[in-house]
Amino acid sequence: MKRLRVPEAFGHALLIGLALVVSARSSFGATAPIAPGLPVGFQSQIVELYSKNRCDEIVRRVNPRNVYDLRPNIIAIVAYCNPKWGNSEELFALAESLVPAGDLILVLHAKYRTRKNPASAEELWKKVLLIARNPAFLEMANDYFNGKYDSLDRPINLSTQTLFANVMFGGGQESNPRPRGFEYLNTHGSGAAYAKADITWRHWYPWGSLAVDTAASESRYFSESGFDDFNQSAKIPIALHVYSDKDVIFQPIGGYRFIGGQLYQNYYGIGVLGVVYKGTYRQSVQGLVYSDGIYNNPQNGPSAGSHYRFEYSWEFFPELRYISMLLGIEHVSAAVGTLYNGVTGLFPFSHTDVDAQFKFEQNFRHLTFGIAPQFAYRIDSESSIYPEQNTGQMVAKQRHDWLLGVQPSVTVPILPQVQLYAWYSYQEIISNIGANDYVNRNQTDNVVGIALKATLSTY
């Protein structure tokens, strides 16, 4: 198998990115030093008491003389406990002035307002949607807008280590279980069982966070087991808070895929991601370089390539809605094939993809409706040269593929952390390589599914 190296230019780009981070003006969210007048471990005790829901003991230990010596996060905890000797809103204002983009401070303030008067907390929860880095905080904001006020009254786990997971189990019916790349094989519709899990462990630091994010998904087909599909991926995001509203994230990535119980693909690489939190939206840009290998593909045998991908995305958070857009362009530099679907010729695997993904969700309080269109276009770098099936004449044709798809969905809450999720997806691949040529890439897939989704968190 031919392996292509990730270019040295990316290493230079990574060094430049590190230099920019080091030179940027930033405190990385550093916490204030412990005041000399406070006993050693005093603030840690306040955190522990809050985790045990002992606000009464926190109010007893903290008083107007020492509250201003506390770190901003601890001041917010005291404010949340509503001390009789002070004004909680003034204490929250103090903490927020010291750390304007402190998501924990903002969440505690929003929870306090929700407990007092839910309507008055709306603007604060909107801000949480904008600046929170922690997915558990985003779930809390969604609970508020879903009217689940009771779930917001429990204490937050303030450990520097957090664990967050989304899991899904369900079933459905697919008209075409073949994955892309196996269009030449016959197929029949099949019932399927689905399982997905996305687990993130994160350690929080004053300068940002270090995380391990792993995701796995499996589709088991009842009558087409040869297309059983298992995917496992992982990334290690290292997030640096460059400014209060900006993060730079370096993340090594890797993964593999099995089809029909046999290894089909593996990949590894690294991405550099910049995120900006502004106004009513978040935007990000990412450069990603990775290499992959294709193994169990009887269509054209083992192959390998290098991928260079650029992504730009936006996320908008208007009240009771979620809108996202992702635009990407990717160039694949791969080996040249001489055999494709049993036909001898010259088939370039180097190509460029342009893709766009959109998502819109509307929350109606008792259910959430979503729709997710997608589009992709592929063009080969060179023309394929091969004998035409009917005449045997040599034909030169540059391959163009278009992918169109849409997925409407409905989500209904059942329990605080459990939802019923139903979806329908339609996807079609249209190609200028037709049935009279070396392979028919025209492919349509319809999927109907229903599943249970659950959210698990240490918060």
How far is Cα 214 from Cα 255, in angstroms, rounded to an integer?
A: 9
Strands 238-243 and 262-278, by their bridges, are unpaired
**What is the predicted pLDDT for the residue at 301?**
62
Helix intervals (H) in 62-102: 72-80, 88-98
Each residue of 275-303: b (16+ CB within 10 Å) or e? Answer: bebeeebbebebbbbbbbbbbeeebbeeb
> Using alpha carbons only, what angle is made at residue 265 by residues 180 and 296, rounded to the nearest 5 degrees?
75
**What is the predicted pLDDT for the residue at 266?**
94
> What are the C-alpha distances in Å from 199 to residues 106, 302, 379?
25, 31, 35
| Contact yes or no for 348/381 (Cβ under 8 A) | yes
**What is the predicted pLDDT for the residue at 297?**
66
Q: Which domains does the chain have, with CATH numbers?
A: 18-153 (1.25.40.10), 161-457 (2.40.160.40)
> Dihedral sign, CA of 285, 130, 458, 106?
positive
Helix intervals (H) in 36-85: 42-51, 55-61, 72-80
Place of tokens 């990316």: 10
Q: Enter the pTM of the model.
A: 0.73
The 3-state DSSP composition of the chain as helix, strand, coil percent (nearest 5) reads: 20, 50, 30
Residues whose CB falls within 8 Å of the CB of residue 9, separated by 6 or more in sequence, listed in order = none
How far is Cα 342 from Cα 27, in angstroms, rounded to an integer?
A: 61
Strand partners, 200: 164, 213
Strands 400-415 and 208-221, by their bridges, are unpaired
| Contact yes or no for 46/65 (Cβ under 8 A) | no
**What is the predicted pLDDT for the residue at 322?**
78
**What is the predicted pLDDT for the residue at 343?**
78
Strand partners, 286: 273, 311
How far is Cα 417 from Cα 168, in angstroms, rounded to an integer?
A: 12
Which regions of the chain are under pLDDT 50? 1-36
Can you state the angle between helices 72-80 and 88-98, rounded to 10 degrees?
160
From 170, 172, 251, select the one nearest 209 (Cα to Cα): 251
How far is Cα 6 from Cα 9, in angstroms, rounded to an integer?
A: 8
Amino acid at 225: S
Residues whose CB falls within 8 Å of the CB of residue 96, separated by 6 or more in sequence, listed in order = 72, 102, 105, 106, 109
Place of tokens 């055999």: 339
Strand partners, 348: 336
DSSP-derived secondary structure letter, 152: G
**What is the predicted pLDDT for the residue at 280?**
67
**What is the predicted pLDDT for the residue at 126?**
82
Place of tokens 């540059």: 398
**What is the predicted pLDDT for the residue at 14?**
37
| Contact yes or no for 286/247 (Cβ under 8 A) | no
pLDDT digits (tens, 9 = 90+) for 296-353: 766 666 678 899 999 999 988 665 677 899 999 999 998 777 777 777 888 888 999 9
> What are the C-alpha distances in Å from 252 to residues 44, 234, 235, 261?
33, 8, 6, 26
**What is the predicted pLDDT for the residue at 33?**
37
How far is Cα 191 from Cα 219, in angstroms, rounded to an integer?
A: 10
**What is the predicted pLDDT for the residue at 35?**
42
Each residue of 334-350: b (16+ CB within 10 Å) or e? Answer: bbebeebeebebebbbe
Residues whose CB falls within 8 Å of the CB of residue 83, separated by 6 or more in sequence, listed in order = 59, 62
Strands 321-334 and 343-348, by their bridges, are unpaired
* Cβ count within 10 A of residue 235: 19
How far is Cα 174 from Cα 186, in angstroms, rounded to an integer?
A: 14
Strand partners, 374: 357, 405
User: What tokens appear for 93 in the block?
Assistant: 């204002």
